[in-house]
Structure 1
Amino acid sequence: MNIIAIMAGGMDGPVESGTIGRVIEQRGGTLHWFYRRSDDGFPLDIQAYDALIVFGGEVSVHDPALKPYFDDLSALIHRFYAAKKPILGSCLGCQAIAYAFGAKVKPQGFLEYGFTQLTLEDNCQTDPLLHDLACHQQLFEMHSDTFDLPIGAIRLMSGTDVANQAYRIGDNTYGFQCHFEVSPEIVSTWTHRELIDNPSQDQTRVAELFNTVKEGFAQHKDQQDNFATTVVNRWLDLVEVPISIVEETRQ
Structure 2
Amino acid sequence: MAERRCLAIRHVAFEDLGLLAPLLEASGYQIRYREAGVDDLTAEDPHAPDLLVILGGPIGAADEADYPFLADEVRLLRERLAADRPTLGLCLGAQLMARALGAQVYPAREKEIGWAPLELTAAGRAGCLRHLDGGITLVLHWHGDTFELPAGATRLASTRACENQAFAYGERALALQFHAEAAGRALERWFIGHTVEIAATPGVSVPQLRADTARHSATLHEQGRRCFSEWLEAVEE
- Give the alignment's TM-score, normalised by structure 2: 0.87
Q: Distance in 2 between matches of 1:200 and 1:183?
A: 17
The alpha carbon displacement at 1:133 in A equals 5.9
Q: Tell me if structure 2 keeps the 8 A contact 1:71–1:100.
A: no
The alpha carbon displacement at 1:59 in A equals 1.1
The DSSP-based 3-state class of the residue aligned with 1:237 is helix
The alpha carbon displacement at 1:132 in A equals 6.5
- Is residue 2:208 matched to residue 1:212? yes
Aligned twin of 2:218: 222
The alpha carbon displacement at 1:239 in A equals 4.1
Pairing partner for 1:237 from 211, 224, 233: 233
Aligned twin of 2:96: 96
- Is residue 2:78 matched to residue 1:82? no
The amino acid across from 1:73 in the alignment is E
Q: Is the deviation greater in 185-194 or in 60-69?
A: 60-69
Cα shift readout 1:187-221 (whole Å, capped 9, x = no counterpart): 221121122xx399348x57x53222222223322
The DSSP-based 3-state class of the residue aligned with 1:81 is helix
Structure-to-structure mapping, 1:1-251, within 5 angstroms: 1-7=4-10, 9-12=11-14, 16-43=16-43, 45-66=45-66, 68-127=68-127, 129-131=128-130, 134=133, 136=135, 137-195=137-195, 198=196, 201-202=199-200, 209-240=205-236, 242=237
Q: Tell me if structure 2 keeps the 8 A contact 1:99–1:105.
A: yes
Q: Distance in 2 between matches of 1:138 and 1:235?
A: 19
Q: Distance in 2 between matches of 1:3 and 1:74?
A: 18
CA radius of gyration, larger in: 1
Aligned twin of 1:245: none
Q: Distance in 2 between matches of 1:187 and 1:97?
A: 25
Cα shift readout 1:165-187 (whole Å, capped 9, x = no counterpart): 11101111110011111123332
Q: Tell me if structure 2 keeps the 8 A contact 1:121–1:135.
A: no
Q: Tell me if structure 2 keeps the 8 A contact 1:11–1:57.
A: no
**Quick one: percent identity of the two aligned structures?**
27
Q: Tell me if structure 1 keeps the 8 A contact 2:140–2:179.
A: yes
Q: Which runs of 5+ in 1 are unaligned?
A: 243-251
Q: Tell me if structure 2 keeps the 8 A contact 1:50–1:239.
A: no
| Closer, same or farther: CA 60–46 of 1 in aligned 2, 3 Å | closer
| Closer, same or farther: CA 212–133 of 1 in aligned 2, 3 Å | closer
The amino acid across from 2:13 in the alignment is M
Size of the alignment, in residue pairs?
233
Q: Which runs of 5+ in 2 are unaligned?
A: none
The alpha carbon displacement at 1:18 in A equals 0.9
| Closer, same or farther: CA 235–42 of 1 in aligned 2, 3 Å | farther
Q: Distance in 2 between matches of 1:105 and 1:48?
A: 27
Aligned twin of 1:246: none
The amino acid across from 1:218 in the alignment is A
The amino acid across from 1:220 in the alignment is H
The DSSP-based 3-state class of the residue aligned with 1:18 is coil
The amino acid across from 1:130 in the alignment is L
The amino acid across from 1:114 in the alignment is G
The alpha carbon displacement at 1:110 in A equals 3.6
Q: CA RMSD in A?
A: 2.4
Q: Tell me if structure 2 keeps the 8 A contact 1:6–1:35.
A: yes
Q: Tell me if structure 2 keeps the 8 A contact 1:10–1:57.
A: yes
Q: Tell me if structure 2 keeps the 8 A contact 1:4–1:34.
A: yes
| Closer, same or farther: CA 44–183 of 1 in aligned 2, 3 Å | closer
